[in-house]
Amino acid sequence: MSELLLPRRGTLVAWTTQGFVPKLPYAGSDKADRFTPFGVGLVQLGDVIRVESRLTESDPTKLRFGMEMELSIVPFYVDDADDEIMTFAFAPVSGSTDSP
Amino acid sequence: MNDVAIIGAGLHPFGRFGDKSAFAMGAEAIDLALADAGVAWEDIQFACGGSWEVAQTDPLTGLLGLTGIPFINVFNACATAASAIQQAANAIRTGQCDLAVAVGLDKHPRGAFVEDPMLVNMPSWYAENGQYVTTKFFGMKINRYMHDHNITSRTLARVAAKNFRNGALNPNAFRRKPISEDEILASPVLNYPLTQFMFCAPDEGAAAVVLCRADVAHRYTDKPVFVRASTIRTRRYGAYEVNTTWAAIEEDAAPTVYASRAAYEQAGIGPEDVDVVQLQDTDAGAEVIHLAENGFCADGEQEKLLAEGATEIAGRLPVNTDGGLIANGEPIGASGLRQVHELVRQLRGQAGERQVPGNPRVGYAQVYGAPGTAAVTILSR
């Protein structure tokens, strides 16, 4: 086995929204009445691999198949030690076109 | 190798039944199947059962009779019941026995299915990050499919409305109230583009069949239903399936496609020969996709088929005549046997208000579930 550095950018191959709170062991702080839907997608990184990921965008009118996405690190929850835990999510690249 | 016939089918209604145990439901389903076949539990020489919620199904013998027979348990997620049928049929095919029972039973808590991701070899971060949700996979798959093949949300609503209508005709169904297409479209979006009323729900229920060596089936019934094919396939490299953190760039077809092709080959028939169809409709989009994956239409043709009413009970390709998963819910272990129970009723002309006209001769059942496992059963008179 060897390590391979994946591209940070890719294209959106498939997507949906998560409209209800995932059951435990979901760790997000957005549980119960504080929940806001998040996007989920399959992002193709170059010609290497497709990865499933949260998306920063959950508005269906702002997500398009083939749009360019970039990896970002976003706040997720605060743990028992009061530390902020981050997670990864792909964000639309501003000005992205529908090019495949 | 012996041919195999189904000589009895029994079903405990699907729904919510308070304190009643999954075992009690399973025993009732078997009793109904035995009575339907005109045989006693003491005549059964082999059994195979499946369930998610109970540790093993063979304690059923404590309710039915401790006869000492070999009793095998299977679990194959949504393909569990189809796998139980295959094991029981194989026992007859290979000459281990002449009379066998396949049974499925379950009693799920409310809400989307959940379990420890480690139990299915998924990393715990996948669940902590909010990705271990089966319904979001179905949302992604149908969203992409609709984009690629010009399917509208109206077609998804038509599928769900049809299944609720069929469920209203089925006394054993969980949901027995028709819901309009507009109401389905206006219900909350759970996983875009899928709304609440486009999804099935986990529930409770049981179903069973009695199988028999085909050459002696006439001793028990004048309406044997023959098992013409029983296939199971898992995902291949390149298929993007439920519960996966990644997918390959080069796409391969879903496991249903391979299970379906193998089943047609085994049965020596094609999709054009099928008269009544049961498809896995975990959600309305799944039924749309499975129509094509099982060879019943080309990709994209579903838009026209649904608009024309082709998949209605009186249409040329009746699909999920008992309301499917959408109206019956999904007790995982029992679901595939519910499909086969319905096909047996249809092929014998015993489906009452929801009987497909024209004396259907060939029935087809498909199940699909995590982590990319599909099974197909083909039956004929």
What domain count does chain B have?
1
Contact A54 B129 (CB under 8 A): yes
Residues of A in contact with B114 (CB under 8 A): 23-24
B329 close to B348: Cβ distance less than 8 angstroms? no
Residue B179 belongs to a domain: no
Q: For B26, phi and psi rounded to 5 degrees?
A: -65, -45
- State residue A97's pLDDT score: 52
For A64, the closest chain B residue by CA position comes to: B147
* Helical spans, DSSP H, in chain B: 22-37, 60-64, 80-93, 124-128, 134-149, 153-168, 181-186, 255-267, 284-293, 302-308, 324-328, 332-348
Residues of B in contact with A14 (CB under 8 A): 140-141, 143-144, 240
Domain holding B220, by residue range, is 4-110+199-380
Min Cα separation A94/chain B (Å):
22
Output the domain CATH number for residue B298. 3.40.47.10
The pLDDT tens digits of the residues spanning B48-99 come to: 999 999 999 999 999 999 999 999 999 999 999 999 999 999 999 999 999 9
Q: For B94, phi and psi rounded to 5 degrees?
A: -90, 5
| Residue A65 tokens, joined | 């198949």
Mean pLDDT, residues B151-171: 98
Residue B377's H or E segment, with its range, is strand B373-380
Residue with tokens 């039944």: B17
Residue B232 belongs to a domain: yes
Q: Helix, strand, or coil here: B83?
A: helix
- This complex has an ipTM of 0.93
Residue B151 belongs to a domain: no
Residue B216 belongs to a domain: yes
DSSP letter string, B204-225: EEEEEEEEEEGGGGGGT-SS-E
A-facing residues of B in 135-154 (CB < 8 A) are 136, 139-141, 143-144, 147
Q: pLDDT band at residue B120, thresholds of 50, 70 and 90?
A: confident
Residue B191 belongs to a domain: no
A96 in reach of chain B (CB within 8 A): no
* Residue B102 burial (C-beta neighbours within 10 Å; 0-12, 13-18, 19+): buried
For B247, the closest chain A residue by CA position comes to: A50
Lowest mean pLDDT among A24-33, B109-118, B303-312: B109-118
